[in-house]
Amino acid sequence: MKSEWKAPKNGFFGWYFKCQSETDTIVFIASVTTGVEKATANLQIAGRDGTWNVEFPVESFTLKGGNIFIENNHFGKNGIVVDVSDDKVKVKGKLYFRDFTPLEYDIMGPFVMVPFMECRHSVMSMKHVVNGAITINGRKYEFEDAFGYWEGDRGVSFPSKYLWTQTAFEDGSLMLSIAEIPMGNKSFTGVIGIISLKGKEYRFATYRGAKIRYLKNRRVYISQGNMTLEAKLYNQEGQTFAAPENAEMSRVIHENLKSTAAYRFCIEGETVFAFKTDQASFEYEY
């Protein structure tokens, strides 16, 4: 199958798929990197028993019609088909997606036009329905009308410092990312975040005037106009993942895949929602 996309020299593309029920959470990260020293396709798999990174020849990667293929593994709008077997992990199964929640426009806003950015973020679906089953090393993960989330990154390296969190809840979902953004010989701390609630989108972003009021000790508090959002991570330990640095999967980051976190969203001082959950994903690389 011929790819409609060719990876740039010294670059990476990655797609993050999270599937979560009341009892199970799994994550798949499909990526391709084309560093000077090494070019590979990678599939990372995470479940309750651990995290595995399976490396493939870069030639095995194909992107066609918004669908990602790495050998026998397929990720896209219709769902996931995975079939991996090596000396560390055996994964097989199918998941089916429906009822996507796309954004009103690109999460990067006007920054999508800025050239040479270290990392650009995308959100394909804030929340969708997941059905099916995946078996990882003999353990079966089953999903019946469960929640899904799909995002992606592209560029050269992950930010040197960043916070990222995502969770789904009954009436919607949220994602928030704060990162150190290099621009030439200077840098700034950027904010992008989406709350999808009862069919309405609330967007926090530096390009819309979002301000960081507090960022310390795994807690963040931001404001924008008449809106505020607070997130706090309670867990300290996270699972390890490989991340791109200078277009190679050489960095180790930590994600609390299914962690305890608290969120509060207010408009004009009135609380729209405030809850604590053990179903949050959280990365705190500070």
pLDDT band at 238 (very low <50, low <70, confident <90, very high): confident
Say what the pTM is: 0.95
| Tens-place pLDDT, residues 209-224 | 999 999 999 999 999 9
For position 8, what pLDDT does the model report?
Answer: 59
- Residue 75's alpha-carbon distances to 43, 55, 61, 128, in angstroms, are 11, 16, 11, 14
> Is the pLDDT reported for residue 90 higher than 80?
yes
Is 60 exceeded by the pLDDT of residue 256? yes
Element (H, E) at 206: none
pLDDT in tens, 104-131: 999 999 998 888 889 999 999 999 999 9
Rounded CA-CA distance 196/147 in Å is 13
Task: Report the C-alpha dihedral over residues 29, 106, 208, 119, rounded to 10 degrees.
Answer: 40
